[in-house]
Chains A and B, each alone.
Chain A
């Protein structure tokens, strides 16, 4: 560290200084001052950036949650330009193979997509990760990122219909998976009127509740759409009344949202206080 201090204070931008930063960074990859100085040296020496990429990728593999390393990768990517985008995506794909939820890798990947491109295979990548693990919330988030921001897909409005179908399929695969429920909610945020007019929604909820009457996410979603103005059809009404008729005395006079909140208080005991609070806010 003292050797490094000496070249730093002297502002020596030489091959020797570069080697010193290598040594120092191998011991302390979190030191942002050393990284900054290394960048000054690289610029001054016009060093081989491909070699530098190999160096930082090796460090990133061993320290995949280190902010400074990822920032250095970003700096390099910017210098290397759009031609390097695919190699960079290959690297983050490699990191995500070992840790599919690595927050740094995902942030970096999003940055490279927006700055340097490489969007064409991204939706497929998300799909592949979801095939491997439908519970991977990072992959769901990335999917939302792609459908809303990719210049190749036309934006949320263009993708909306097929994404609703995709998400419904995922929900049916495993109704206790929170991620696709949130994703579905997210899709309708841009289109709130269709949430209460889209036939697919009550159909989905009825399908699930028939097979699994204790599915908290389904009841939660039904509660939300009723609160947003869904006019329940006869089937929905019967499903709610049928499930909740053994509830508290006097429940026959209660409206559907109130009944659902009471049912959720029992079905989802960790969140009993939340459902009671939702119930008390229904009249607001």
Chain B
């Protein structure tokens, strides 16, 4: 099969890949069925970044996404501490009608992200039930559970809550101060953030921490001046150095110290620097070279260089990383929301 030139962005191939993944996922993704809506978000946002949303029927997508919204049977279900957001999959919807779905924060974020990317008009969208019921997912320490029946709590869901609030432009669903307190506790001795206090610094966790703080208005993107001010929230100089140190000799970004470079961290870690106003510190040409070694001949991106088969997750974050690098074939990104800006 004729592949693209090593440094040529194969836009058509990528768009075809994303479109195919939106309509039908290969069998290997069966174990990810629970995250169907999240996979759709990767595909839709990819298509938008690739300026190829015209390939799909946006109204159909909106209808499909909205069919995952969980609704309460009775109004007092919300007081019982149940969460009414979006489900990630039909396997969490137990019958027709209200009260029989189990929704979660991550798929709620994914669903709203899809709606935002396709330009859905939120004017007539009643977000009150989502935000009101989201409050019961926040723990006393400020972290969030993803579901009301109990699960791990960590920075991923703090981020989801902040992103949901931002998309719906309504912060009544969370206590921002408490969330900030939890995030601060997740900063490790080396400047990066772990998913929970005490955990190892990790690129994805660091993105969740900084993006959440950014969305909630606790940090600004002009780190050049804030460096001379006393830190009131987090240790920014250490954070910056931690991020910069993630770029390896191969040009790619690693997720943790002494691990291999992986496509997706070009987005997770690159975005942190972007939000701090310091993306210009990245060695862009080296990064671009690395990313093109992960471009699959089948369309999409792989996790590591010179692998052949792409996956949707690394493809999406590959596109997002190239968007940060201002690759000309790609549209703009809303870095803090992790989705394509309206292109």
Contact = CB atoms under 8 A, between A and B. Distances in A.
Interface stretch (B144-152, B264-272, B335-343): B144-152
Nearest to A137: B257
Interface residues of B, number: 51
Nearest to B147: A32
B32 interface: yes
A74 B152 CA distance: 9
A103 B286 CA distance: 28
A35 B226 CA distance: 46
16 contacts: A28-B31, A30-B33, A32-B102, A67-B151, A70-B152, A71-B150, A74-B152, A75-B150, A106-B200, A135-B258, A137-B256, A137-B258, A141-B199, A149-B198, A182-B191, A284-B228
B258 A177 contact: yes
Interface residues of A, number: 49
Give me the 7 closest cross-chain CB pairs, A-B, nearest first.
Answer: A186-B189, A182-B190, A141-B200, A137-B257, A36-B149, A135-B258, A273-B281
A183 B189 CA distance: 7
Contacts of A187: 189
B94 A9 contact: yes
A277 B227 CA distance: 12
Given A145-B198, A270-B251, A274-B244, A33 B189 contact: no
Contacts of A186: 188-190
Interface in A50-105: 67-68, 70-71, 74-75, 101, 103
B21 interface: no
A273 B152 CA distance: 39
Contacts of A141: 188, 194, 199-201
Interface in B165-193: 188-191
B95 A185 contact: no
B contact patch SS: loop
Contact of A103 (B151, B198, B199): B199
A31 B245 CA distance: 37
Interface centre among B100, B245, B259 (most CB of A within 10 A): B245
Contacts of B104: 32
Given A31-B34, A177-B258, A138 B200 contact: yes
